[in-house]
Amino acid sequence: MNGRTFLSSGYRVQEAHLDIKKSQVGLRPLGISALVAAFLGFAFYWWVPMGMMWSLAGSVLEFADWTRARRRSLDYRLSVLAMLLGIAALVFDIVIAAYHLQTITFGGQ
C-alpha cells in the first residue's frame, strides 16, 4: 500500500495517499452531453418544439457544468462553449418559430 508509516504507541499505522485530480471525474461527460444537446437543438430547427427542448436541456446541463467546473480548466472552457452554442440554438429556434419557417406544425397552417 502506498503511504507513510507512523509509529503510535507501539503500533504501526499506515496512511494512504489521496489521489486528488485537477478536474472532477463527472464533469467532462456532462460538458460533452451539453454540447451534444446544443447541436441537437440546431439539428431539430425544422421541428421547433423539439429543437427548443434540446437547446433548453443543453442550457440546464451547461449551467450545471459551468457552476461545478474549476476556472481555467478544460471543463470550464467546454462548458462556456456549450453555453454559447446552446443559447445560439435557442435564439435560432425562436427566430424560426417567429417567422413560421418550421416544417412540422400541429396547428394546421
What are the tens digits of pLDDT across the range 56-68?
999 998 898 889 8
Domain-by-domain residue ranges, the chain?
22-98
| Calpha distance 53→58 (Å, rounded) | 9
Q: Tell me: pLDDT of 52 over 70.
A: yes
- At 23, is the secondary structure helix, strand, or coil? coil
Given this model, what pLDDT does residue 27 score?
80
Q: How confident is the model at residue 95 (pLDDT cuts 50, 70, 90)?
A: very high
Which pTM does this prediction carry?
0.70
Given this model, what pLDDT does residue 102 score?
82
Q: Are 64 and 102 in contact (CB under 8 A)?
A: no
